[in-house]
Homo-oligomer: A and B are copies of this chain.
Amino acid sequence: MRTLRKDIVISERSQAQFRNLTDFCVGTGRVDLAMQQEYQEQLRAVQDACHFRYIRGHGLFSDQMGICQVHKDAEGNRHTEYCFTYLDRTVDAWRETGLRPFLELGFMPAALTDSPNTIFYWNAHTAPPRDMDEWTALVKATLRHLVHRYGEEEVSLWPCEVWNEPNLSGFWENADKQKYLELYRATVLAVKEVLPGMKVGGPAICGGTGSQEWISDFLAFCRDGKIPVDFVTRHAYLGQTPERRGRYLYQQMAPVSVLIEEMRRSREIIDSFPEFRGMPMYITEFNTSYNPFCPIHDTNLNAVICAALLGSLGDVSDGYSYWTFGDVFEEQGIPPRCFHGGFGLIANGLIVKPTLWAFSFFAGLKGKCVYRDDCAVLVRRPDGGYEGVLWNLCEDGEKTLEITLTVPMEHEAAVLMERVDERTCNPLRAWHVMGEPEDLNSEQLAFLRAAGQPSAEILKAEIQDGTATVRLTLDRNALMRIRILPAERRSGAGYDYSYYCED
């Protein structure tokens, strides 16, 4: 394998551009799953590590959430009542972990449509409403309830996105653009009627042929109709032509730069509208593969691709949301075993996947950026130390990365490293070697949980002439957090580490 050597030299005056929006938002499976215990435990674990601020998922108006309750009276007449029992439990569960909803207004309650079209294992209805007034009544009642419960000031901070991927016929009957625009108009007006300060956006498209055109058509429609719009949303996935085997899906990944360019193009379209120049653009879903049974999601490769994305997405957008935080997820059926290629940062059984660490390490990067390239981001910490995330993504062939890092440092310093690579932090491989068991006993579970933790290494920095030099080696698909921290000796009188240990 070839070796790439790189010297990174930081001075007191170094600076670099880097917009860190890692903690903006994260995706979730069907929103009512938030009532489940396993979901809540996974979310707590993710939040302890990543501290996301918003959460976005499908199914707000689907029947599992039960907001539209239909029943017949003694005479057989159909009555619709709104029921917010599950909505409250869902939002409460999110708020307990410090999250606010990024509301996605969809899908259609079965009661509001006559179309049989559905998507997913859980039968999400994908047709426009039979009667737009029934839909807007539902939207308004829901928002009013939220305001009653959480207060207008709070709810006004929750962004609202209209529908999901209407440019796919699976998600929106016939991918009918005109009907989507009508839905958007009616919905945004309903929202603003209840909460004028709430931010609303669309068109929530995924990529593919004609997708950029949806953005320009959407904005032209808003401009021409003087329809409110506060932000533009779209999705970003790297997966190429899929291959299916059994219930699993395999795909090669496009280069990160290709996806960044696609996003930049959307940004330019928005900015080409004088009225909308600089309007926020949110990538409300991103990931490698768009399929929840694609084994890549559980790998170290996935982690370094995400690291590369987190290093760049702030250049072309105002927020992005990994799809999804956990593996309590039912779109293609219930996950049959801990590793099955689910989207989650954490696997069922509370086994952390490598990708979680990409988000955790980036979320922790506070301070002024001093260096950024395609395998590293480094910041100067408020406490005078340095912190960085480094990764080795081998898009153009396998390599070992050897980095010599030099930072200004007057006195002794400790170098704290957390390493996530195929050898040190790879629970998928551990599970594979175990024989890919379906049902984990407590011994296996404990081992897999331990196998998902980064190795914690520490070394003394070599200090010379006011600089600390650190030599790092990253194997293929390795991810690393490094912190270089001043280490003034403070021990008690008489304490001598070297009596029993080599210094």
Contacts and interface: CB of A to CB of B under 8 A. Distances in A.
A115 interface: no
B332 A71 contact: yes
B437 A456 contact: no
A435 B412 contact: yes
A247 B501 contact: no
Nearest to A82: B336
Interface string A68-94: 011101100001010111101100010
Contact of A439 (B149, B334, B443): B149
Interface stretch (A158-166, A173-181, A484-492): A484-492
A334 B488 contact: no
B336 A69 contact: yes
Contacts of A488: 435
The 6 closest A-B pairs by CB, nearest first: A246-B494, A435-B487, A436-B491, A66-B334, A245-B494, A450-B456
5 contacts: A85-B348, A295-B499, A337-B492, A437-B490, A453-B453
A340 B495 contact: yes
A499 B250 contact: yes
Interface residues of A, number: 89
B424 A74 contact: no
B436 A497 contact: yes
Interface of A: 35-38, 40, 66, 69-71, 73-74, 79, 81, 83-86, 88-89, 93, 145, 148-149, 243-248, 250, 295-296, 299, 301, 330, 332-337, 340, 348, 412, 414, 416, 418, 422, 424, 428-430, 432-439, 443, 447, 450-451, 453-456, 458-460, 483, 485-497, 499-501, 503
B148 A244 contact: no
Contact of A456 (B69, B451, B493, B497): B451
A79 B246 contact: yes
A110 B336 CA distance: 18
Given A40-B37, A435-B414, A435-B489, A295 B500 contact: yes
A360 to B, nearest CB: 11
Given A83-B333, A336-B492, 12 more contacts: A38-B89, A70-B333, A73-B494, A83-B335, A85-B334, A85-B335, A149-B439, A295-B500, A435-B486, A435-B488, A450-B453, A451-B458
A492 B247 contact: yes
Contacts of A250: 496, 499-500
B336 A81 contact: yes
Which one of A40, A246, A455 has the highest number of Cβ atoms from chain B below 10 Å of its Cβ?
A246
Contacts of A487: 433-435
